[in-house]
Structure 1
Amino acid sequence: MILIKNGRVIDPKSGTDEILDILIEDGKIAGIGKYKRSNDYERVIEAEGKIVAPGLIDVHVHFRDPGLTYKEDIESGAKAAAAGGFTTVVCMANTKPPVDNPETLSYVLEKGKQADIRVLSVAAVTKGMQGKELTDFAELKAAKAIGLSDDGIPIQDSRLMYEALKRAKEEGLAISLHEEDPDFVQQAGINRGHVSKALGIGGAMALSEQLMVARDCTLALETKARVSIQHVSSRVSVEYIRLAQKLGADVWAEATPQHFSLTEEDALVKKNFAKVNPPLRTEDDRRGIIEGLKDGTIQIIATDHAPHSAEEKSREITKAPSGMIGLETALALGITNLVRTGSLTMECFLKKMTFNPARLYGLDSGYIAEGKQADLVIFDEFEKWKVEKFYSKSSNSPFIGEELYGKVKYTICNGRIVYEDKE
């Protein structure tokens, strides 16, 4: 048994925010209340002055396994996730080969069972992620895909997208969408504007995202399918999503820590480490995303954890891949840039990283209750730390060297301590 003593327990589902003890036994939460210390416990965690919350859930990670494991693999990705306070992650399908068949899906899920945290996966919407022919949604659902996504590649064919949403609705699966029309992307990863000009590249227009968001919000309204707009980067996109939700569409949206923390200006200093799809955009866009988080238009915070090797990120900017790691800095970036600034309460922030992500894919997790699985994170919201090293195989983060608030002290998954801050 493990006793967590005197922590500030915040549960976004029930609204609990109280100094309590939590008793863990046989992988589950055996009790919530007040308990005396005794020798009966294998471990007593002193959590006074710290927050005890549901284990974080990230619905958007790239663990590069199979096929690109020099960047990351399921084991290293899971360790990075645990260090960041995550107890559940959802892998995207753009591996090599892609997760467009039960065999590859089974490989990911079986290897995930060996990890310290819960590793789930979506399956591809189209075969080979080519945007031409739909995968067998029913077969993939039976093989335990929890959703569908061609993340990394937009689905340009509107009729195919319409058919995909109709079929996904029939199967009860959510589709998560990467929204960038390549017709308006001259150079991916950097916003089209004065910064792209200064860097001597064409850049990607915000219009590339806005057009596809508007289309897919309209299709979601028509088909009544559940759609998640991934890594929203544009203020106008937020407005389209807000309107679709008002009209009754089952549209969800996620924001990444990089898009609410940085702008295109950071690419002038961070260069390739700030190159990401969709790009970091203007301060107006960043503020628009925060407004979307505040009013509930954007229900989820997800990292889009995208590891790349040092060699790849050291290439000239037009040849370096887009993407950045994010699992180990996400909680602290949210506390630093959303909670401490007064944009979100701690409970609202945590809801977007626990209960809401679980709801998107219909998972019975993301909350604290007696009898439920003991997936918890314990962190110190006031502890300041410097971003220096990672459990991930990769270190392509624009936040290296920054001091952030909010330090993960323990991550507990299925009743086991899978991460402990020993510094």
Structure 2
Amino acid sequence: MSTGPNPTVKLRGGRPWTPGDRGDGTSADVLVRDGLVAAIGPEATEATADITLDCGDCVVSPGLVDLHTHLRQPGKEEAETIESGGRAAALGGFTAVLAMPNTTPTIDSAEVVREVLELGRSAPCAVHTSGAITVDRAGERLAPMAEMAALGVSLFTDDGSGVQDDALMRRALEYAGGLGVILAQHCEVTSLSQGTCMHEGAVSSRLGLSGQPAEAEELMVMRDIALSRLTGTPVHFLHLSTARSVDLVRQAKAAGQTITAEAAPHHFTLTDEACVGYDPLFKVHPPLRTPADVAAVKAGLADGTIDAIATDHAPHTPDSKELPFDQAPPGMLGLEYALALALTELQLPLDAVISLLSVRPAVIGRMDEQGRPVAVGEPANLCVIDPSATWTIDDTGGASRSRNVPYAGRRVTGKVRHTVCAGEPVVIDGAAQR
């Protein structure tokens, strides 16, 4: 997000969110000046402003934070750029995203970290980046995490691949513990998942497609819980998708381990039955699972076992998604739909959804200026949500350069009206400002 003089902005008529908000608060104007919340209530109402945003019937929430965004740049700009992905994020209410490192070249050095952060300065939201655990995500030798950590990288992952070597993962956790950074694991045992294209079960058998067993994920979750316990280093689990994975994390937390986890919207909104038409839009890794797994993910989000919702926004060009199901790349768009899908499908109060999409991800990602209460003196990273607005998701892909939307035609409730990032309105009345 670029810095510079910000306008004075009045958010008029909304209900400011505070932690534990039960939805029974009263409306109050919010004044933003110099990138901070300057006043709330009568003082804000009486103040003059350069821009006034209508927030009637809306909640003024902290901006959303995505821990898992594929921005594709550098190297695959035909699918997405940091600028286009940042615009999609802002339209979805996100004021900060964490870029994944599976770019070309891999984000596995200080040089590439600097490039991504510099490109992110002109995006309409704050762009943070993760770094790879291993060089080129090849799982053979550790990347220079200390050099990347010195530039502010606090989360490291080989996302798209799990670290297969047990001893290497142990060494990575020990190294991360000394640096004070977090390792995040894409849990997939390749000896069980190689050559597969969907969940292994009744549906894959019926379709004649190679299936990935749930155990491919669960074995690595189990291993990393054990290695985290051995090393005393926290671990974060990316996009959990199976009932047993959720239960393993629940047990580890109950035993006092410092474990965090996330779930993607597609793993609580879609099942493997979506693959019946062989449409590659529904191909994703981890794959879409069974109704029982979806129910378990929802339960994990409701009871706090799963700490955050992360989009796993994964753009792919139309031609690549038109390949046969078993040859097409895995991944779906998510930034512009995550909030509405969560409000529609989870049946959780808005306060809980804000925690899952903003407060907890900001803590895990160590983004101190994000996920904060809407209070005087706090950074003005804000999302104005109309919780009762209904709309139908289309297949255009929104601001993304790609179009791989698996939710087209789905009717959802909850929409972003405005997004304010570092005091600057970047979305007004649902339209991107730059």
TM-score (norm 1): 0.96
Are the aligned partners of 2:53 and 2:428 in contact in 1 as well (CA < 8 Å)?
no
User: Is 1:45 aligned to residue 53 of structure 2?
Assistant: yes
User: Is 1:138 aligned to residue 143 of structure 2?
Assistant: no
Q: Percent identity?
A: 38
| Residue identity matched to 1:12 | P
Aligned residue pairs: how many?
419
100 and 75 in structure 1: CA distance in 2 versus 1, 3 angstrom threshold: same
The unaligned stretches of length 5 or more in structure 2 are 1-7
User: Is 1:397 aligned to residue 382 of structure 2?
Assistant: no
Alignment of 1:350-389 (within 5 A): 350-364=354-368, 365-368=370-373, 369-388=375-394, 389=396
Distance 2:139 2:24 in 1: 46
- Indicate the larger mover: 277-286 or 42-51: 42-51
Give the CA deviation at 1:359. Answer: 0.8
The partner residue of 2:252 within 238, 241, 244 is 244
3-state DSSP class of the match of 1:374?
coil
Distance 1:333 1:168 in 2: 34
- Indicate the larger mover: 368-377 or 405-414: 368-377
Q: What residue in structure 1 maps to residue 14 of structure 2?
A: 7
3-state DSSP class of the match of 1:352?
helix
Are the aligned partners of 2:106 and 2:137 in contact in 1 as well (CA < 8 Å)?
yes
Distance 1:171 1:110 in 2: 24
User: Is 1:112 aligned to residue 120 of structure 2?
Assistant: yes
Are the aligned partners of 1:12 and 1:348 in contact in 2 as well (CA < 8 Å)?
no
Give the CA deviation at 1:199. Answer: 2.5
- Indicate the larger mover: 143-152 or 296-305: 143-152
C-alpha root-mean-square deviation of aligned residues, in Å?
1.6
Q: What residue in structure 2 maps to residue 266 of structure 1?
A: 274
Give the CA deviation at 1:6. Answer: 2.2
189 and 88 in structure 1: CA distance in 2 versus 1, 3 angstrom threshold: farther
- Indicate the larger mover: 61-70 or 19-28: 19-28
Give the CA deviation at 1:46. Answer: 2.2
Listed one character per residue, the Cα deviations across residues 264-293 of structure 1 (whole Å, up to 9, x for unaligned) are: 111114721111000110000000011111
3-state DSSP class of the match of 1:225?
coil
Give the CA deviation at 1:120. Answer: 0.2
User: Is 1:64 aligned to residue 72 of structure 2?
Assistant: yes
Are the aligned partners of 2:21 and 2:351 in contact in 1 as well (CA < 8 Å)?
no
| Residue identity matched to 1:374 | A
Give the CA deviation at 1:373. Answer: 1.4
Listed one character per residue, the Cα deviations across residues 140-186 of structure 1 (whole Å, up to 9, x for unaligned) are: 10122121010001101001101101110111101111001111125
Distance 2:22 2:335 in 1: 25
- Indicate the larger mover: 269-278 or 120-129: 269-278
Distance 1:249 1:338 in 2: 26
| Residue identity matched to 1:179 | C
3-state DSSP class of the match of 1:116?
coil
Distance 1:13 1:118 in 2: 26
The unaligned stretches of length 5 or more in structure 1 are none
| Residue identity matched to 1:150 | D
Listed one character per residue, the Cα deviations across residues 35-88 of structure 1 (whole Å, up to 9, x for unaligned) are: 464572112222121111000000100000000110001000000000100000
249 and 420 in structure 1: CA distance in 2 versus 1, 3 angstrom threshold: same
Q: What residue in structure 2 maps to residue 32 of structure 1?
A: 40
TM-score (norm 2): 0.93
User: Is 1:121 aligned to residue 123 of structure 2?
Assistant: no
Are the aligned partners of 1:335 and 1:406 in contact in 2 as well (CA < 8 Å)?
yes
Alignment of 1:279-298 (within 5 A): 279-298=287-306
User: Is 1:209 aligned to residue 239 of structure 2?
Assistant: no
- Indicate the larger mover: 275-284 or 8-17: 8-17
The partner residue of 1:195 within 186, 195, 203 is 203
Q: What residue in structure 1 maps to residue 318 of structure 2?
A: 310
Q: What residue in structure 1 maps to residue 89 of structure 2?
A: 81
Distance 1:172 1:34 in 2: 44
Distance 2:297 2:399 in 1: 29
The partner residue of 2:178 within 164, 170, 173 is 170
Distance 2:34 2:306 in 1: 36
13 and 187 in structure 1: CA distance in 2 versus 1, 3 angstrom threshold: farther
Distance 1:295 1:17 in 2: 22
